[in-house]
Amino acid sequence: MTTTNGNWGPIRLTFHVRTYQFGERLIPEMLGKTGVPEGTVAETWEISDQKDTRATITNGPFAGRRLHDVVAEHPDEIVGTGWRGPHFPILDKFLDASHPLPVHLHADDETARRVYNEPNGKTEAWHILYAAPGASILAGIRPGFSEDDLRQAFLDEDYDRVMFRHPIVAGDTVYVPGGILHAFGPDTLIFEVQQTSDLAQSVMPADLYGNRHSPEQWRANIDATLAELKTHYLPKPHAGLDKPGAEPGNRITVGGAGPHFAIERWRLTAPHLDAAHAWRFLTLSNVGEPVTIAWSGGTETLGRAESVILPATIGDVTVAPTGESADLIATYVPDLERDIVQPLREAGHAEEEIQALGEIGG
């Protein structure tokens, strides 16, 4: 988005609400998000160019236009120098798992292209904002089970028999590649970053709204899930690794990273300078008190549970608390060596710790 003096500024968007059965009211009541409907608010899609839920820009000269169309016209300026793609590459959401999520998976890139004729699948990461004592995730398949064993466990609804369960606490991040079976909840609130996709298969006897499948449909869904299932990666909660160079009183923590996205938690007590990076955009989602965002073209306030895209060509940006502290989630598509590996090595983190963040490579 351009300001009157030609500088690109923050891009604000409409958000999309999903009312799945697993949600309650944690997003408005705990995060303080406004403008949501009454009743169940299971998910708010904060940054979305998914084909069925494309956000509309709400500020500046492109107000009223779809993010999708403006990105297509200005890929270098918004997403990053040299980037080309069918849609904005990541989708950010808040997710309320007051009740357990279904046991499900998302297609990986190869499956998405081969089976669905879609450009990409859905790798995702969950950053835990709140988890009640005893909260946990199910993720990944235990070794030694045949396809028939897995099918029977799903029909018995005995997921712990064949899957790993891990406890989670606030501040953890879980990186989940496409094809990996997973679930989490109850009593959990997360921020999720994912590839722009809504492909999914579930082994549950009911759909996301609680409607029971016929026995034939249930079995067909299980078989479809097994056909897409991957077992190469075992997700585990990660407390994250701090980046070097943050201003005194500030903490920047990498929670997860891979070729499709990186996710960071910014805990600030002083202004933080995010230096210009023309090769990538940045999204910010506020999970604390209001902050100010200042760039060469102006200053804006980002309120509680609001999200914004900072375009690649925005230049230097300063994010500052309006009170004693600020708490934000940042996501972007990284140059893994430049944005993740090198800074974390400089901070003294061991190679195995860095690799445990996700799919780092090398």
Q: Summarize pLDDT for 330-342 with one digit per residue, the tens.
A: 999 999 999 999 9
The whole-number pLDDT of residue 361 equals 84
Q: Assess whether 20 and 137 both reside in one domain.
A: yes
Tokens of 219: 């079995």
Q: What CATH number is given to the structural domain containing 42?
A: 2.60.120.10
Evaluate whether residue 9 is within a structural domain.
Answer: no
Q: Assess whether 210 and 263 both reside in one domain.
A: no
pLDDT, tens only, 26-47: 999 999 999 999 999 999 999 9
- For residue 1, pLDDT over 60 is answered with no
Q: Assess whether 41 and 159 both reside in one domain.
A: yes
Q: How far is CA 303 from the centre of its chain?
A: 19
Q: Assess whether 266 and 142 both reside in one domain.
A: no
pLDDT, tens only, 168-214: 999 999 999 999 999 999 999 999 999 999 999 999 999 999 999 99
3-state secondary structure of 197: coil
Number of domains in the chain: 2
How many C-alpha atoms does 324 have within 13 Å on its Cβ side? Answer: 0
Q: Assess whether 261 and 135 both reside in one domain.
A: no
Q: Assess whether 279 and 341 both reside in one domain.
A: yes
Whether a cis peptide bond, with omega within 30° of 0, leads into 186 is yes
**Taking the model in full, what pTM does it have?**
0.97
pLDDT band at 3 (very low <50, low <70, confident <90, very high): very low
Residue that terminates a domain, selected from 228, 258, 282: 228
pLDDT, tens only, 143-177: 999 999 999 999 999 999 999 999 999 999 999 99
The whole-number pLDDT of residue 362 equals 59
Q: Assess whether 110 and 184 both reside in one domain.
A: yes
Helix spans in the chain (H): 26, 67-73, 75-78, 109-116, 147-155, 215-228, 342-346, 351-355
Mean pLDDT (whole number) for 248-260: 98
Q: Assess whether 107 and 218 both reside in one domain.
A: yes
Q: Assess whether 73 and 209 both reside in one domain.
A: yes
- Measured CA distances, 357 to 124, 184, 188, 344 (Å): 12, 19, 21, 11
Tokens of 162: 């064949």
pLDDT, tens only, 296-355: 999 999 999 999 999 999 999 999 999 999 999 999 999 999 999 999 999 999 999 999
pLDDT, tens only, 81-124: 999 999 999 999 999 999 999 999 999 999 999 999 999 999 99
- For residue 357, pLDDT over 80 is answered with yes
Helix, strand, coil abundance in the chain, percent, nearest 5 = 20, 30, 50
- For residue 6, pLDDT over 60 is answered with no
Q: Are 281 and 309 in contact (CB under 8 A)?
A: yes
The whole-number pLDDT of residue 201 equals 98
The whole-number pLDDT of residue 65 equals 98
Sheet with 272-274, edge to edge strand ranges: 272-274, 317-321, 291-295, 298-302
Q: Assess whether 303 and 186 both reside in one domain.
A: no
Q: Assess whether 79 and 175 both reside in one domain.
A: yes
d(CA 206, CA 240): 35
Residue that terminates a domain, selected from 228, 256, 273: 228
pLDDT, tens only, 259-282: 999 999 999 999 999 999 999 999
Q: Assess whether 219 and 279 both reside in one domain.
A: no
Evaluate whether residue 234 is within a structural domain.
Answer: no
Evaluate whether residue 4 is within a structural domain.
Answer: no
Evaluate whether residue 142 is within a structural domain.
Answer: yes
Q: How many CB atoms lie within 10 A of CB 103?
A: 20
pLDDT band at 9 (very low <50, low <70, confident <90, very high): very high
Residue 330 structural domain? 241-355
The whole-number pLDDT of residue 4 equals 39
